[in-house]
Each structure stands twice: as C-alpha cells, then as structure tokens.
Structure 1
C-alpha cells in the first residue's frame, strides 16, 4: 500500500514539475509540423476526409498527463463541410502522427457552390485543428488555407464565327452564322437554389428571307449529370443579310450538385461541363428546331482542394465505383507515450489550388455570307 501511494505521489509530482517547467520556459512546448488531408471515400450521401496531424514534442521525457483531445473542421468559403475530433490522445517524445477521419455531408455542396459563384468563382478552403490539454489548460492550434479558382462561364466568350446547319430536307445549309457568344453569371438573381447565366448570341442571317427566333432551349450537364435545363421564349426577327444579338438564359439547379460532386471525386476532381443549345426558327409559316451544335459549350474543370491529389489520386477516370483506398496511415508516435505538454501556438500556411483547365478559344472570325438566297422552303 505504501509503495502504491509512493508511486502515485511521484507521478503527480512529476506531472506538476513538468507543467511548471513548461510554464517557466525550461521545457519546450510541442508544435505542429505538418497537416495533411485527402479524400478517402465517397458515397451518394457522404464524403470521407482522412487527416494526419504531425506534432513534434522536443522534451526528452514523456509523461502521461491525461485530458488531451483534438477538434478538427474544414470550411469552404465559410460553409462547414466536415468536422470531427478525438479524445484520450497520447503524445510521446519526438514526432507523433495523429490520424483520423471526418465525414462530409454532400448536402453541403449546393451551399458551397452558391458562395463560389457569388465570390466570382473563388473559394477559400479553411482547415482548423486544435489539440487541448485539460490538465494543463493549454492548447495547440493550426490553421491551413488553400484557394480554388475557376473560370467556367467566362470561357463561353468567343468571337469565332460558326455556321449553323438545319440538316432537314428542302433547306439549304448553313441557315445561320453565329459570329460571337458571350456569357456571365447573373449574380443579382443568384439564389441558393439556382445559379442563373446571362448568355448572348450574335446571329447573322445569310438568306434572302427573314427569320423569327421564337424559342431557345438549353441543357447543362456536369460529368453527364444533368444539373439544369429549360427554354427561353423569344421574339427576335433577323432580316435578310442582317445581324442580331439574341439574349438567352440558362441556369444550374443547385440541388443537383451533390450528385455531380460524387462524380467529380470519382474522376480525380475533374469535371466535363457541357451546355447544349437549340433554337426554334420560323420562316414562311414553317417552324424548325435546330440544334446549335457548333456553339455547344464544353469545358474541363479541375480542382485540387487539398493540394495533394497527385500524391493521393481518387477514382480511375470513371463515374462509377469507390474512389479507392486512401485511408490515413496508422498513428505511429515515437518515444514514451504521454498526453503531451501543450502550449498555444498557431501555424498558418496558404497554397494556391488549380483552377479551370484550358485557355482561351482560338478565334477565327469569318464574315457572315449574305449572298446565299435560296432560303427555307415551306414543306
């Protein structure tokens, strides 16, 4: 019994001594040396994020202090997408790696997308971690930031002239020339439910009779997931040999973006965005729906949210299946296990993530041909 009491007294005394040593600066305070995150799994509802926090304890001895815990969160433009923590940590002397996972609710993707568009297609990824010791009343924190930038709608702008064919009997092609396309996000009407786009087509009529454009349709898809479709009612008259600017509207329905997000991770954070257009032409009492294949918009979007997807790729270029086994490595503390002596310290790093792939389109203007006069014939 006396021996047990003696050991207890020595243990308490050593803990007090160690705490006092940190307080007066005799012993060194542990610090974060690395923070690493990666996507380790995805389902229809959730995305798993694996995290490793590396802590360096410069003290030559390890003593179990108890009451140590870690809290962890990830935010994108302030939108919380993942949070977690662990209790009962034990930190040894030297370097210790704390490995754990957090679950992201895919239902947060639409909320994040809204902020991404509202912020000019820019996202700040904020990663906060804090290790606390209730025994010493001290904490160790780390903040890490990465930025994401895309230019999805801006690359719709083009001055390349493209002929449009009707591909129907008794009609001589091309029936139109699209001389220019322009697009912007309609941010004044942006909502958490919908991301609208203002689009414009400069259209030239090469025929000898007037056209009326009565409707313009669109379908937006991301990795073959339809995220928006609709039709704009129009009443544009394009006279023979003249050029007219036609305004149109398209929109992404944000509620569909959680389904897209799954494919984005399965394809190693790559997305093929496509907008298909069509219009209804009226001439001489005949209506023809014409797919605007030459101006269908297709661009690649690539992100690297944690800045390490080259080292930890996800998926196999397919929209099917899991994103692979990328679980964090098992924690491997060195030296004598203890709960650490924690002091307040903040480490901040900022890295730039990759944005949209692809540069500006090649521009080859072709003057609209106003000499063709065979027109559209009534069927």
Structure 2
C-alpha cells in the first residue's frame, strides 16, 4: 500500500521539475542569464479508468530585461523502475522577464501500474523514480536529455499488518487454537499474480484434534477485490501440538490498475483489508467456516504531489479480531434406548436423544453429531459402535443413532449373569461430540443404567411335597420333600445346575434305584441341553436322604436364543423335561421326574432406565 502511494508521488513530482528543464534548455539557445524555477505546484485534476491528468504550475524567474526570444519545446518522461508511467510535452513556451507561470499537464498511464507493482514487490518493496526532460529550441540542434530527478522509494506494506500479540480462536465457549506471531511476506510476482504468504503460529489448546482443510481469503483495497481465492493446504494439530501454518494467497496483479483509480479518486487514500477464513471438509465437500484465521485492516495515505510522504496505520485500536464463531453448542436433554432390527448375527440398539440446537447460520448447516455408544451387561461389552447424525434439527428435535450387539457376545454376558446370581447391571455409555468441521466439541450425556434380574431356577427351588409315581400303576414310588438348585462351573461354553432333592422311600420292604436320568432344557425352542445325568441313586426301604443330580447346559447356545428373545419382546419360555429308569421290587420302568421338570417364563428389560 505504501508502495502504491509512493508511485503517484514519484510520477507527479516530475512535473515540478519541468520548469527548470525548460529554462535550462532556453539558456542553451540564448546568451542570457539562465532563468530559474522559483516554485511549482501540481494536482490531479481528472481521473479516468485508463489515465489520470496531472496539472502543474511552474513559476520561472527570468533575470534578463527581455524575454527569451525563442520559445522552447520540451518533452518529459517519468519512470518507476524503468516502467514509463507518465509523459507530458509543451511547445513554444514563452519566458518573459521576471516571474512568470508556465502551466503544463501530463498524462499518467494507469495501465502501467501493474507492471510497476511487479517490479516494486520483486525489488523488496523498493523503487527508483527517474524524471527526464528532452529540451528543444527552434533554430538550434536538438537539446540534451536531462535527468531532472532520481529518487529512491521504499515501502513496508505488510509491516503494519503483522502482529505478535497472541489471541485465541474459539467455537462457542471452547478455545481451540492459540494464534500468535502472524506475519506476511511477498512471493515472486508476475503479470498475473502477486503471491502473498500469511504465516500464523497455531497451537491446539483443545482436547480434541483440530483440522483445517484449507482457507478462503479475500484482499480488498478501497472495496476493490484485488485478491480472492481458496487454498487447499491444510493442517492437523493433535491436542497440545503447535506448528506454523502458511496461507498462500495472491493478488490478481491486473486489478492493481482498478485499485489505483480508486486511490486517486479517494484523495490518495486507501483502506486495505485482508481476511482469511478456515475451510473444513465435510462429507467430501469443502465448506467455508465462519471462523477467521487472519484478519487485518490498515489505512494508508499518500501526498505524491506535495510532500511525497506516505503514511500507513492500522485501522481501529490494533486489537485482535473477534475470532469467536457465533456457534452455540447444542445440549442433549434426554436419551432413550430400544432394540431395533434383529438379524441372524446381530441386533441393533437404537439410541434416541432429544437435542436442543440453538445455532443458526453457517455452523448450523455444517453441524453433525458423532456418537460413540457402549453397552455393557454385567461388565461384558455387549454392544458398541460409532454413528454420525448429519441432519441435526434446529431448535428442539430428536436424533437417532444405532449401535450393534453381536449375538456371539451373549454367552459371555449370560455366564456373568448366572455367576452374579442371575443379576446384571445394564449400562449404556454415550460419548457425543458436536462435529463443527474443524474440530469436535464434547456434549454432556448422562449414562443410562438399569438392573436385569431373572429366576431360571425358580421351579427347582421348591419346598412342597410331591410324589414320583409309576407310569404303569400310578402308585407312589418316592416322596420328594423339597428341591433346591444352584449354578456352578459357569462360563461362556457351559453352565452346570446342581439339583439337591430331599427324597424318601416309603416302601418298608424294598429299595428304590433311580438311574439313567435323561433331561432336556430349551428356551424358546432353542435346545440348551439334551443329555443324561451321570448320577444313579439307591434308597433303601424307608430311607430318606438328599441326593444330587447334575444338569449341564450348553451356554454357547445362548447366542441362538437371544434373537428369539428380542423378537418376542424380551420374553422367553424355559422348558425342562426329565425321565429316569426306576427299579423297585425287581421291576424297572421309565418314569417322568416332575421335580426336575417344569416351565418358566423369563422376562427382561435390558435397556430400561
């Protein structure tokens, strides 16, 4: 910016020197004392898109008593770094005795500004302005070409836009990046582009990774967009990681001509704004975020035709821009779980959450919710999964996510359930993050817990008195005073039920033997056992004692039982059957052992509050 201002200064300061060149050339033609330039003033009088007019008034003192007898012709040229930016000429200029004014005008070629700009930037913001005058006097050979002025011009357009003051980039109430030591530097400019690299020191102060997929930038000078584009180089920072992020922007060099016109029309004043916003990649699409990586405003003024001074200042108080996003973190008000689709190998668990999403604008469009859910039963991970909700309703609404429960995890849970006295704690933990493109913000979600209890041995724990009867005669063979049962040796493959039966042989003269006890156990017609107990017991005449029967279940079959249980509304029918060979008085027959048989209803509400 400083550079632009200086250009005008240089080009039009030349006009003030023209008068001197005129009188010098006239001195060549006439043996008079050389006239001299007393003063000069210049101003822009008309600014057009292609050219600008500079009018100059030069006061010349002719110390001779008579006028210079022959008028002079002159042509002058102003160059900036060898780029000719202005040209003016006058013919047959009269120079009377004493002080006189010569009014001249020059045409500044605005189209040469881009070429000069390239040379200035590539020369480390340094330029040389040279003004030359060709003088001619009628009747004399062509006069000399005089170098009227050569001036060094240096600018520092990017200096005022740098800052070492730290600031933070926040999303809602969460600080995610510490921004520090922002600087700019020019790349190698050409007729099409003037590269500008903005470097920013970034540190991730968030507890989640921060990823910027690129940026969009805009460079304005007096509301002329001289640079606009998108960069694809991104940066990913783990929590606590710091690095320097370079944004490689560019000015569209030909647009510097359009800026130059506004600068002149604005009284040689320009407002410069550079803004860089973050870009996130969402579902394969690049989306601009309302999150500013870099923003600076500066003003600069020039006085090319009078003092030649250039002044650059930061607009405002120099404080850091507001880097807050305007995003408001959603809240989860309530959650609920239920079983969804049941397939051959797995069952879906649907989690429904009531979400309050107060955000609007760009972040609301980009917002998604990522949910990691984990359900444990008796400490066994029964289901887990990650789901993402892309369409988060604004205001109050519900979102639904799904995790899966593989059926092959059921045997391990069921074994833990039995070992714990048929009691399980069901716990669903939900870790939810609001994904805002650049990072994720944690959402507070309460765990859901409930207790699952069953009593699959209820019918085997019975204090009532029953009879074991002959299938042939119906007469009592044994009296069962009570039964009790416990699970032992339980793992994901098997579960052993030990049944203790208080039996009495009421026959006063004959013993009773029970052998080859065949038993079966099913749940919802899924076979868990179809075996023969290893025990055989003989009770002498009139004897009463407690005997044991060992029933072994195939726990791995619980994987097949589970889908039937869920499809039936978490209700199952457990059936036990047992028959045995009973010998008494020398006779043997097969009889039903009703004290080992029976039906149980097994109900659960695994996902209840």
The number of equivalent residue pairs is 300
What is residue 432 of structure 2 aligned with on the other side? 131
Higher mean C-alpha displacement, 1-10 vs 231-240: 1-10
The superposition leaves residues 347-375 of structure 1 with CA deviations (integer Å, 9 ceiling, x where unpaired) of xxxx3xxxxxxxxxxxxxxxxxxxxxxxx
Equivalent of 2:590 in 274, 289, 302: 289
Equivalent of 2:491 in 191, 199, 212: 191
In the TM superposition, residue 98 of structure 1 has moved relative to its aligned partner by 1.9
Alignment CA distance shift 1:216-1:135 (3 Å): same
Equivalent of 2:506 in 184, 189, 206: 206
Partner secondary structure for residue 500 of structure 2: strand
Alignment CA distance shift 1:224-1:92 (3 Å): closer
Q: Distance in 2 between matches of 1:172 and 1:35?
A: 59
Q: Distance in 1 between matches of 2:482 and 2:424?
A: 30
Contact 2:276-2:292 within 8 A present in 1 as well: no
Partner secondary structure for residue 463 of structure 2: coil
Map of 1:210-225 to 2, 5 A cutoff? 210-225=511-526
Equivalent of 1:150 in 432, 440, 454: 454
Map of 1:299-378 to 2, 5 A cutoff? 299-307=600-608, 351=609
Q: Distance in 2 between matches of 1:62 and 1:245?
A: 77
The superposition leaves residues 90-113 of structure 1 with CA deviations (integer Å, 9 ceiling, x where unpaired) of 545422322233332111111111
Alignment CA distance shift 1:60-1:162 (3 Å): same
TM-score normalized with structure 2 length: 0.45
What is residue 74 of structure 2 aligned with on the other side? none
Q: Distance in 1 between matches of 2:438 and 2:594?
A: 68
What is residue 252 of structure 1 aligned with on the other side? 553
Partner secondary structure for residue 158 of structure 1: coil
Alignment CA distance shift 1:217-1:55 (3 Å): same
The superposition leaves residues 298-331 of structure 1 with CA deviations (integer Å, 9 ceiling, x where unpaired) of 2111111222xxxxxxxxxxxxxxxxxxxxxxxx
What root-mean-square deviation, in Å, do the aligned CA atoms of Structure 1 and Structure 2 show? 3.1
Structure 2: give runs of 5+ residues left out of the alignment: 1-217, 219-224, 230-273, 279-287, 294-320
In the TM superposition, residue 248 of structure 1 has moved relative to its aligned partner by 0.6
Contact 1:40-1:50 within 8 A present in 2 as well: yes
Structure 1: give runs of 5+ residues left out of the alignment: 308-350, 352-379
Alignment CA distance shift 1:159-1:35 (3 Å): same
In the TM superposition, residue 163 of structure 1 has moved relative to its aligned partner by 1.8
What is residue 373 of structure 2 aligned with on the other side? 72
Q: Distance in 2 between matches of 1:9 and 1:28?
A: 19
What is residue 531 of structure 2 aligned with on the other side? 230
In the TM superposition, residue 155 of structure 1 has moved relative to its aligned partner by 4.7
In the TM superposition, residue 277 of structure 1 has moved relative to its aligned partner by 1.8
Contact 1:206-1:240 within 8 A present in 2 as well: yes
In the TM superposition, residue 136 of structure 1 has moved relative to its aligned partner by 4.4
TM-score normalized with structure 1 length: 0.70
In the TM superposition, residue 244 of structure 1 has moved relative to its aligned partner by 2.3
Contact 1:121-1:150 within 8 A present in 2 as well: yes
Alignment CA distance shift 1:9-1:258 (3 Å): closer
The superposition leaves residues 184-233 of structure 1 with CA deviations (integer Å, 9 ceiling, x where unpaired) of 111xx222211111101111222231112233232111122211132223
Name the structure with the higher strand share.
Answer: 2
Alignment CA distance shift 1:32-1:172 (3 Å): closer
The superposition leaves residues 124-173 of structure 1 with CA deviations (integer Å, 9 ceiling, x where unpaired) of 222122222363452114222122111222552111111222212xx461
Contact 1:62-1:92 within 8 A present in 2 as well: no
Partner secondary structure for residue 545 of structure 2: strand
Structure 1 runs of 4+ with >6 Å offset:
3-8, 15-19
Higher mean C-alpha displacement, 251-260 vs 238-247: 238-247
Q: Is 2:421 the partner of 1:117?
A: no
